[in-house]
């Protein structure tokens, strides 16, 4: 059921912290190569599982849940600074993108006759 519940709800979480890209110098025989490294896979996995284990100072700035019936819950961190306002705006931009993305996906997956705006006059008419 948790899988189904996850599918029908839309969660957007914004976490802030000191995320920087460390440069790692790798010496090869003929040249020096600088590689940017960040382990996004593990970080997002931890975030998804709700168990972030890191020494970095991280905090959840905002979280949004939209239910299937469009009931929406917004969680915004208290004590927001002036600099956080832009981040909150970005969070809501991400929510909008996710909502529109899901709607668009559903619209494309919907059988042809049931799509909103479809009428009898298609390309084949």
Spatial separation of the C-alpha atoms in residues 7 and 30, rounded to whole Å:
51
How near is the Cβ of 104 to another protein at its closest, in Å?
5
Of residues 39-58, those binding another protein (CB under 8 A) = 40, 43-44, 47-48
The DSSP call for residue 114 is: G
Residues linked to residue 65 through DSSP beta bridges, in sequence order: 11, 73
Tokens linked to 85 = 């306002």
Site for another protein (CB under 8 A): how many residues?
44
Q: How far is CA 122 from CA 39, 81, 109, 116, in A?
A: 47, 52, 17, 13
Give whichever of 30 and 36 is closer to another protein, judged by the CB atom: 36
Q: Is 11 helix (H, G, I), strand (E, B) or coil?
A: strand
Give whichever of 31 and 90 is closer to another protein, judged by the CB atom: 90
Stretch that binds another protein, among 26-34, 67-75, 81-89, 111-119 (CB under 8 A): 81-89
Residues at the interface with another protein (CB under 8 A): 6-7, 10-23, 36, 38, 40, 43-44, 47-48, 61, 83-84, 86-87, 89-91, 93-95, 97-102, 104-105, 108, 123
């Amino acid at each position: 059921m948790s899988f189904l519940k996850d599918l029908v709800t839309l969660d957007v979480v914004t976490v802030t912290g000191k995320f920087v890209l460390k440069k790692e110098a790798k010496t090869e025989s003929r040249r020096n190569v600088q590689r940017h490294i960040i382990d996004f896979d593990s970080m997002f996995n931890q975030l998804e599982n709700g168990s972030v284990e890191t020494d970095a100072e991280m905090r959840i700035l905002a979280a949004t849940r939209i239910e299937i019936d469009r009931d929406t819950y917004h969680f915004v961190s208290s004590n927001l600074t002036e600099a956080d306002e832009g981040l909150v705006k970005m969070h809501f931009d991400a929510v909008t993108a996710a909502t529109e993305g899901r709607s668009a996906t559903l619209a494309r997956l919907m059988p042809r006759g049931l799509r909103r705006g479809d009428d009898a006059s298609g390309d084949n008419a």
